[in-house]
Amino acid sequence: MLLLNTLRNEKANVLAGLAKRQVPDAEATIDRIIALDDRRKAVQTSTDSLLAERNKLSGEIGKLMKAGKREEGNAMRDSVNAIKEEIAKGEEELDTVKTELEDLLLTLPNVPHDLVPAGVTEEDNEVFLPYNGELPTLPEGAKPHWELADEYGIFDLELGVKTTGAGFPVFTGQGARLARGLVNYFLDRNTAAGYTEFQPPLLVNEATARATGQLPDKEGQMYHINGNGDDFYLIPTAEVPLTNLYRDVILEEKDFPVKITGYTPCFRREAGSYGAHVRGLNRVHQFDKVEIVQIAHPEKSYELLDEMVAHVGKLLDELGLPFRILRLCGGDLGFTSAMTYDFEVWSAAQQRWLEVSSVSCFETFQSNRLKLRYRAEKGTELAHTLNGSALALPRIIAALLENNQTEEGVTLPEVLHGYLGMTKLQKVV
């Protein structure tokens, strides 16, 4: 959530940044927010003054009554009752103004970093780091991963439909082993890089989802469990519970950077996702992902963003997957992000790039909602938050299958041999 002082004191810069996102009526919304905040302050000041006057008169009434001046005391009591009515009206208006103010603040996305390119769609994203190597050349008759899945016993979409519905793959045999090995590999690499591993809940409450910006922005993409006294959301990413571990926390400067990682299944409704480009594992409703999160001093956050980008790049290098890095334009940037780098791996059988990771810096946008601060010289200040996928499994598995298929089987990258106890996947049919 954007800071009120930022909207007041840096309005021109905020509007220039929001213009990169094509935010409609941004200036009118900001003006309304400032007007509501002015009204909030005025009502609060008036109410506080009335409260002070009521307390003063109440004390005087007591003195009058003790002195036997009941007539004067009763007259003053009438004045106190009138003041109480005004206080009640003021408190009611204050609640209304605060609610509208917060609701409007929640509609504004984060202001993009100056380096974020302007643009509307993913076609306007900047290729930050192109792939300069040679893309894999596949043998004649090479197949996409959804056809290889049956031959190698990797996953079964029909079993997922049977047990749950479309978009819930069941990994089997070598596929389940591959998924487990990848999770362990990613976690081991993350912890070796200084991240502390957590295993968070898969269900979160509304306050948790709101704190990291999933609500109200992505409400339609989240699975909501509401009934029998429950009111929870299935997590769309481990970022949500991991970052919220530090909600309402005040850190010391010596605590920075806080580095945490965790593996979870993730759940996304992905409404409206149809067509050949989402076949197989390209887009599913449940998938496994390992996440990295950092909480940083504001002066170090973009340095740490570069560090996280390098870390994810190293994982893909070790897996032998051709990848490129995009810097997202304003129109394709996530609601909460100030800057995002997307990693895309090359799918040799599909002949296209597949997104496998987003690494983002949110500056104070999330920490303002989280009330996540640190002690500075002149009081407490908001920390910066960052996160990234390291990595999401479905498209990694798709690319490993497609890029490494041979007549003798699917060759596995060397870094996975110890995790899987084999060097290649063998056909089962």
**Residue 237 annotated as part of some ligand binding site:** yes
What end-to-end distance do the CA atoms of the chain give, in Å?
53
Cβ atoms of residues 222 and 251 within 8 Å: no
In whole angstroms, give the CA distance from residue 10 to residue 144. Answer: 50
Q: What is each CA distance from 273 to 60, 146, 221, 268, in whole angstroms?
A: 70, 17, 11, 11
**Residue 161 annotated as part of some ligand binding site:** no
Residues 6+ apart with CB under 8 A from 331: 20, 21, 22, 119, 120, 121, 124
305 preceded by a cis bond (ω within 30 of 0) = no
**3-class SS letters over 361-402:** EEECHHHHHHCCEEEECCEEEECEEEEEEEEEHHHHHHHHHH
**Residue 270 annotated as part of some ligand binding site:** yes
**Residue 123 annotated as part of some ligand binding site:** no
**Residue 261 annotated as part of some ligand binding site:** no
DSSP letter for 202, please.
Answer: S
**Residue 39 annotated as part of some ligand binding site:** no
DSSP letter for 237, please.
Answer: S
Query: Of 362, 334, 343, which is closest to residue 129 (Cα–Cα)?
Result: 343
Strand partners of residue 170: 156
Count the neighbouring beta carbons within 10 Å of the beta carbon of residue 248: 10
**Residue 356 annotated as part of some ligand binding site:** yes
Strand partners of residue 375: 380
In whole angstroms, give the CA distance from residue 264 to residue 187. Answer: 11
Strand partners of residue 389: 291
**Residue 155 annotated as part of some ligand binding site:** no
**Residue 286 annotated as part of some ligand binding site:** yes
Q: Binding site: which residues?
A: 237, 268-270, 284-287, 291, 355-358, 387
Q: Binding site for ATP: which residues?
A: 268-270, 284-287, 355-358
Q: Binding site for L-serine: which residues?
A: 237, 268, 291, 387
